[in-house]
Amino acid sequence: MYFGLSEDQKFFQENVSKFLDDQCGLDCIRTITEDSQSNLQEHIQNGLVNLGINSLLIPEEYGGLGLDMLFTAAVSQSLGGGVAPFSFTGPYVMAPIAIVYGGSEGQKEKYLKGMSQNTIRMGVGFSEYIGARDGAEIKIKNNKVSGKALFVLDAKNSTHLMLSNKEGVIGIVTSDADGVDIIDLTAVDKTRNFSEIYLNNVDIDVLGLTQENNNAITKSIDAGRISIAADSLGASQRLIDKAVEYSKERKQFGRVIGSFQAVKHMCAEMVSDLEPCYSLVWHAAHCFTYMQEESRLMSCHAKSHLSEVSKLISKKATEVHGGMGFTDLMGVHYWFKRIGVNRHILGAPELVREEAAKIQNF
């Protein structure tokens, strides 16, 4: 039985890839990462939103496309392949899923419609629930929130912040509210943004169902992990493509380096390691919507395995480029850094595998 992407999913994926190839080449990425005053990133973001990827997971009754997680994985794969300077996982994957599973009807009407119209953009901070750290506690009481959230995804230029405490209670605050202080973090991957959030007695709109169970936050994290795994999948494939292309052009000792057995083996190993990952990510995305009993376990497998495989591929692809792979000229480092950061977003492989073991009662 063949399991792969449908024609509609491929259509979405190809449109995103074509847009990035046309509008966001290596020179564009270089300008965005080196010049914080450039408006190129806003242009890219607007273009991608115009393609409708902000509405993929929002139900049709709230103005969205009402598509499933497999569409999201397909799009995320293209974003990773193009190392897109676009924040996707937090505002357009995790946030809508949390509201769908945890919000009241009024909250869905307000936030999901705003997100589909691109008037509301969420930053997401679930780090305390995934792995709390000393001095980073979020306290929610009487519709007020105080504390510090670490490594918040996509808070820059957001209109709202979605935060969670260690019990999994989720609430939403406006980014410009009194008592909210957003500190930008400097990460090696400058195509996306990460922040620390300090809150002092700020009004918070708590998603009602999250006070009763953890279903909303676990589904949101599962969706985020699948999206990140798909992003690393796309980035890994692009690195393989770049390595193979370079090996056919670069000459050493009068021969193209692709003719040397050592280089052939590295390229073959990368392809053989990555090929099974496609079905793993696609199956995890399918399970998210249609096989709920396997969803959490498969999202853990996809995230942890892609983190390891993509790390090895980024290393080998850089080695194929030789010394040029460490320079800015080839741009390999953009994908290398993206994969490195993806490895730790929403849990490093060790933490995610431990969670998978607990799901299976090991």
C-alpha 155/C-alpha 47 separation (Å) is 20
Rg (CA), the chain: 20
Per the listing, tokens 């990035």 go with 20
CATH topology of domain 122-211: Butyryl-CoA Dehydrogenase, subunit A; domain 2 (2.40.110)
Domain 7-87+104-116 shares a fold with domain 215-359: no
Closest CA to 94 of 128, 136, 122: 122
Closest CA to 12 of 76, 95, 61: 76
C-alpha 303/C-alpha 197 separation (Å) is 26
Closest CA to 80 of 250, 314, 294: 314
Angle between helices 292-320 and 215-249 (to 10 degrees): 30
Bridge partners of residue 138, in order along the sequence:
147
Q: What is the pLDDT of residue 2?
A: 56
52, with CB counted inside 10 A (0-12, 13-18, 19+), is middle
The reported pTM is 0.95
C-alpha 226/C-alpha 162 separation (Å) is 19
Range 215-359: architecture per CATH: Up-down Bundle (1.20)
Task: Give the distance, in angstroms, between the CA of residue 85 and the centroid of all CA atoms in the same chain.
Answer: 12
Of the candidate CATH numbers 1.10.540.10, 3.40.190.170, 3.90.1300.10, 3.40.109.10, the domain formed by 7-87+104-116 belongs to 1.10.540.10
Bridge partners of residue 255, in order along the sequence:
252
Q: What is the pLDDT of residue 1?
A: 44
C-alpha 292/C-alpha 114 separation (Å) is 28
Distances (CA, A) of 153 to 58, 164, 223: 19, 13, 14
Closest CA to 90 of 198, 194, 20, 179: 194
C-alpha 111/C-alpha 173 separation (Å) is 12
Q: What is the pLDDT of residue 36?
A: 73
Domain ranges, ordered by start, for the chain:
7-87+104-116, 122-211, 215-359
The total number of residues shown for the chain amounts to 362
In the chain, the amino acid numbered 359 is I
Closest CA to 263 of 330, 319, 329, 324: 319
C-alpha 246/C-alpha 257 separation (Å) is 9
C-alpha 218/C-alpha 237 separation (Å) is 29
3-state DSSP call for residue 357? Answer: helix
Q: What is the pLDDT along the chain (362 residues), one digit of tens a residue?
A: 456 788 999 999 999 999 999 999 999 999 988 887 778 888 999 999 999 999 999 999 999 999 999 999 999 999 999 999 998 999 999 999 999 999 999 999 999 999 999 999 999 999 889 877 776 789 999 999 999 998 999 998 899 999 999 999 999 999 999 999 999 998 899 999 999 999 999 999 999 999 999 999 999 999 999 999 999 999 999 999 999 999 999 888 889 988 899 999 999 999 999 999 999 999 999 999 999 899 999 999 999 999 999 999 999 999 999 888 888 888 899 999 999 999 999 999 999 999 999 999 88
